[in-house]
Structure 1
């Protein structure tokens, strides 16, 4: 009996594992059209109020278009209303004003107020669609951001608030000028001290300032403080620097949720920020996704996005303009990307709950690189709930 049962059990386990890894084939990343292939997500995301949609590079057209398609689906089928991205909340406020009034030029706003990686046609297409959606529906869509490192935008907004309401509480911060003989990191120290002092004495409300604007003023100071901490440590302690930024981004997501209680939100960010952990040979830090998981539990779910081949948009270095001519290296043998490629399905979503998928993983940020994979293996289901895979990709299209 034992000789029969053990092989049969092994065979059943193998079959179960293969079945668990069957992907949901997708028709296209085209945002318009039929959503039949996305309907399995409705059951999977029933309890989710925040869904993080990632990207393995900051410059892949198919990733960006898939996020657009996903948000359309979530809005139409699951009642999601908030779109929040890895960029500054102040520029996003200008996009939100366009959604509400039709005033302003979204392309000009994106060019002036957004990071160069997101100055792309794919994002402006989403914004124009959101405006048209709002014109046709009573339940409105909202556009916002959650990054903290663009300190000058928070400074500009705080300047406007102070001027408009003749405030003097923020004068020491707004009037600060760094000593040009000291390092950038050292120049952050007085900013940290000033922000700490302001936040200690800043009252919960101000009689002469509307509550919404007063909350925004505090929000700006808190983000300037987080940015200053991040940049003070960037040259000496990357781990703590990343931790500060991602912790603040999670707090900003929480802040957005407080502004729109009860509404569901989709996040747009790099895979590395949305995962429940990040560990490599160089450093380990607790990404935004880990904080959100601690805050919201299963109410937060995420999707990593990976690709097999193609091109992407990035900078050659920090001083260069964005360029679309960068090639994705072939997946390394044994990598997560190679295992996804071996499924021989050109476009799919794969739930990771029961999937043993471990290996090095492609990750590219703002700067193009020939070294495109993590140095240590990644257990994908430890970080993400789903993975989206596209075999052939192209570069995002700059504005």
Structure 2
């Protein structure tokens, strides 16, 4: 443990202002993808410093877009606002307050508003073709994406509406409840795969024109396909549904990079459990992959930088059950012997660690617990919230905040329909 402590502290420097991120920007260098994680979906410092890093990557390094662990249709409204498209709100806050899916605070919060306002201001200073986007990677918006496809086809390709209606009508009996659909596929041979395939084929062909609207319709169709597979797999095995979701996010990221062009570069915002390489945790033992691992495999470790984050204690916004009202909860001091406990003892109150490149096999190679807080959280059970982690292999860099506080949620109107609970809970 003493050797581990000496290694991590030797790689750690104080983090006082965005200028202290220089060493991380140097580490990112010409990487095509920078994935920046959070140890919870409700901590101010994770959002604040991830935004500060992303602002520098966009303004100074020419990164093309931000892709987040959020739904495509919701994030598309934000994207249209930050890219100053005609008829869209001048203030991205209006798009963010329209988020309805629980947990709304995950993206509908003041910290994201501040970043999106900065992004819109930045985009106002560059040519439209060079404006940075804001996109969702996740798989949940089955019915919302179907409706977006129908709207697009009715306005642009009315002859193709029947294929979209066939897909919509196949799902219609389940009353927009994915659990009902998942249950039906378990007990009777009822699936909507054929209708989705028919829909996808046509939209993929039209997306070859590479227009913004065409690409959005195609991506919504990919979401429908991914969601159908995800909800069906939920009834079989936990790790399989996790893999369906992360492989969908990986493919969406790759489609976005291709859409933006051969020189495109992306920043990804997601939970540490998605960002940190799964092979450096016990996720690998369960047969689970994540987008951090998949990005390293797809683009090469030298073109991908994975940044994790953590905190010792503070507060966090979460719910005490799936779909429960959000509330500010305490985060107790970290478990003894964990990554967070070691950093608490010796690291600066706010710090950045940048690890050596892939030849680092013998650096930070011990397996220690590393806290992961979901959108469902019980502080009294915090000792069970730790993922066995080889820190130097899971990440390329780490943002540390000894004391932290909850995000500032926006007032939204959550929908009455809940997605089935994710596994692990809320990450």
| Fold match (TM-score > 0.5) | yes
SS at match of 1:169: helix
1:110 aligns with 2:96: yes
Report what 1:264 is aligned to: 265
Report what 1:136 is aligned to: 125
CA distance, structure 2, for counterparts of residue 394 and residue 179 of structure 1: 40
Report what 1:381 is aligned to: 392
After superposition, the Cα gap between the structure-2 partners of 1:19 and 1:281, relative to the gap in structure 1 and judged at 3 Å, is closer
Report what 1:47 is aligned to: 30
1:147 aligns with 2:144: no
Report what 2:223 is aligned to: 223
Q: CA deviation at 1:314?
A: 0.8
Report what 1:9 is aligned to: none
After superposition, the Cα gap between the structure-2 partners of 1:236 and 1:132, relative to the gap in structure 1 and judged at 3 Å, is same
Report what 1:239 is aligned to: 239
1:366 aligns with 2:375: yes
Q: CA deviation at 1:130?
A: 0.8
Q: CA deviation at 1:284?
A: 4.0
Provide TM-score, normalisation by structure 2. Answer: 0.81
Q: CA deviation at 1:144?
A: 1.5
Deviation readout 1:336-374 (Å, 9 max, x if unpaired): 111221223101111233431531110011111233455
Deviation readout 1:286-313 (Å, 9 max, x if unpaired): 0111111111112111101100110000
Report what 1:11 is aligned to: none
Contact 1:280 1:375 in 2 (8 A): no
2:173 to 175, 178, 203: 178
> In terms of mean alpha carbon deviation, does 119-128 or 35-44 score higher?
35-44
Report what 1:192 is aligned to: 193
Larger RCO (alpha carbons 8 Å, 6+ apart)? 2
CA distance, structure 2, for counterparts of residue 16 and residue 334 of structure 1: 10
SS at match of 2:94: helix
Report what 1:8 is aligned to: none
Q: CA deviation at 1:382?
A: 2.1
CA distance, structure 2, for counterparts of residue 390 and residue 37 of structure 1: 14
Alpha carbon RMSD of aligned pairs, Å?
2.9
Report what 1:293 is aligned to: 296
Q: CA deviation at 1:249?
A: 0.1
Report what 1:169 is aligned to: 163
After superposition, the Cα gap between the structure-2 partners of 1:183 and 1:17, relative to the gap in structure 1 and judged at 3 Å, is same
Larger gyration radius, structure 1 or structure 2: 1
CA distance, structure 1, for counterparts of residue 164 and residue 374 of structure 2: 35
CA distance, structure 1, for counterparts of residue 237 and residue 408 of structure 2: 34
After superposition, the Cα gap between the structure-2 partners of 1:294 and 1:270, relative to the gap in structure 1 and judged at 3 Å, is same
Q: CA deviation at 1:392?
A: 0.6
SS at match of 2:216: helix
Deviation readout 1:171-225 (Å, 9 max, x if unpaired): 21122322579944134652334213444x5375359x98554443332222211
Q: CA deviation at 1:376?
A: 5.4
After superposition, the Cα gap between the structure-2 partners of 1:377 and 1:179, relative to the gap in structure 1 and judged at 3 Å, is closer
Report what 1:56 is aligned to: 39
CA distance, structure 2, for counterparts of residue 369 and residue 221 of structure 1: 37
Contact 2:99 2:108 in 1 (8 A): no
Contact 1:239 1:284 in 2 (8 A): yes
CA distance, structure 1, for counterparts of residue 51 and residue 225 of structure 2: 32
1:321 to 310, 325, 331: 325
After superposition, the Cα gap between the structure-2 partners of 1:248 and 1:18, relative to the gap in structure 1 and judged at 3 Å, is closer
Report what 1:350 is aligned to: 353
After superposition, the Cα gap between the structure-2 partners of 1:331 and 1:217, relative to the gap in structure 1 and judged at 3 Å, is same
1:157 to 130, 135, 148: 148
Q: Where does structure 1 lack aligned partners over 5 or more consecutive residues?
A: 1-13, 29-34
Q: How many residue pairs end up in the alignment?
A: 379
Q: Where does structure 2 lack aligned partners over 5 or more consecutive residues?
A: 411-427
Report what 2:424 is aligned to: none
CA distance, structure 2, for counterparts of residue 74 and residue 232 of structure 1: 38
